[in-house]
Amino acid sequence: MTDPNLVLEVKSSKACCGDDCCAPADSVANVATPQLISNATSEDIHEAVKSRYGRLAETSSSCCGDSCGCNNASLYETELNLIPTEVAEFSLGCGDPISIAELRPGEVVVDLGSGGGLDAFLSAQRVGETGRVIGVDMTPAMIERATKARDKQGFKNVEFRLGQIEHMPIEDNTADVIISNCVINLAPDKKAVFKDAFRVLKSGGRFAVADIVTEGALTPDERANMDFWSECLTGAIDVNVYLGALREVGFVDAQVTHKVAYTGESNFSAKIFSARITARKP
Ligand SMILES: C[S@@+](CC[C@H](N)C(=O)[O-])C[C@H]1O[C@@H](n2cnc3c(N)ncnc32)[C@H](O)[C@@H]1O
């Protein structure tokens, strides 16, 4: 039976984060009339998330405009100075997956929810010409934006594919490493994402992501607030449920290596964190 904490039943439409993530204080404050949708299907959630990120992808240079307020490059411990400003500034993440991925030359990396491409390009620099990076994102405007940046910067070992991270357009046993930055919390069915990550990884492959998780459960009403869900807050699940689901699909050594508490203005019934999470396919 599916764990209700993993397949969140909500209804609404819209999508990134509190002040530890994408659309901080600004967008939270703008939620004068929250979109409350109960009994949402997975499709409703995907459409809501796509709608928000499609709009963000079409903002001119960085996403630090009216609707997002985010430039999360400051969250990185990884050196960003070889990355063009317009790419680095379009960071919608909540952490730094590159700092825990330990990428090596020649490796194949898959970036779940690649957005504007920042983590894909950082990975490409590390895996070099003998390695390659595949970014997957379900928002067409994000794929277009990231592909344009790739062509402009001349990254030959990066490609972006349109698709959902619950069933990626990628062959089995392809990747040495799966990375992701602030995306899995947005997915209505986390376990489907973990299963597909496991399928796509080679034996011995690594899972290294930054994501939003909670300590404790959010209430159904909180989860029904699609504005907060889309801001990477209320789609988040309890960290132990998250780690348990990784183990259930076959991952080993699932653990949180680092976490930072959400300190935004909104109050929730559970503590919200940005965490770095690693696991391994045996
Ligand atoms: C918060 S942004 C993060 C983007 C990027 N990782 C970064 O750090 O800048 C979330 C991204 O994930 C994508 N996304 C959300 N849910 C997805 C899903 N189920 N399948 C594929 N992409 C998804 C969105 O389109 C968006 O580009």
- Tell me the whole-structure pTM to 2 decimals: 0.88
CB of 138 within 6 A of ligand 1: the answer is yes
Q: CA quadruple 21, 31, 53, 240: dihedral positive or negative?
A: positive
Residue spans of the domains in the chain: they are 25-280
Ligand 1 centre to CA of 183 (Å) is 5
Successive 10-residue mean pLDDT values, the chain, 282 residues: 42 34 37 64 89 86 42 74 84 92 98 97 96 98 96 95 98 98 96 98 98 94 87 94 98 96 86 96 98
Residue nearest to atom 2 of ligand 1 (CA): 92
Query: Using CA atoms, how far apart are residues 159 and 8, in angstroms rounded to an integer?
Result: 31
The CA-to-CA distance between both ends of the chain, in Å, stands at: 25
What per-residue confidence (pLDDT) applies to 224?
87
Q: What is the secondary structure of the chain as a DSSP string?
A: ---TTTB----------STTSSS-HHHHHT-SS--B-SS--HHHHHHHHHHHHHHHHTSSSSS-STTT---GGGG--S--TTS-HHHHT----SS-THHHH---TT-EEEEET-TTSHHHHHHHHHH-TTSEEEEEES-HHHHHHHHHHHHHHT-TTEEEEE--TTS-SS-TT-EEEEEEES-GGG-SBHHHHHHHHHHHEEEEEEEEEEEEEEESPPPHHHHTBHHHHHTTSTT--BHHHHHHHHHHTT-EEEEEEEEEE---S---SSEEEEEEEEEE--
What per-residue confidence (pLDDT) applies to 235?
94
Residue nearest to atom 25 of ligand 1 (CA): 139
CB of 98 within 6 A of ligand 1: the answer is no
Q: Which atom of ligand 1 is nearest to the CA of 93?
A: 8
CATH topology (fold) of 25-280: Rossmann fold (3.40.50)
What per-residue confidence (pLDDT) applies to 29?
34
Q: Which atom of ligand 1 is nearest to the CA of 22?
A: 1
Q: Which is nearest to 161 in space by CA: 143, 181, 176?
A: 143
Q: Which atom of ligand 1 is nearest to the CA of 163?
A: 21
What per-residue confidence (pLDDT) applies to 61?
53
Query: Using CA atoms, how far apart are residues 92 and 87, in angstroms rounded to an integer?
Result: 11
Query: Using CA atoms, how far apart are residues 92 and 52, in angstroms rounded to an integer?
Result: 12
Q: Which atom of ligand 1 is nearest to the CA of 164?
A: 20
CB of 226 within 6 A of ligand 1: the answer is no
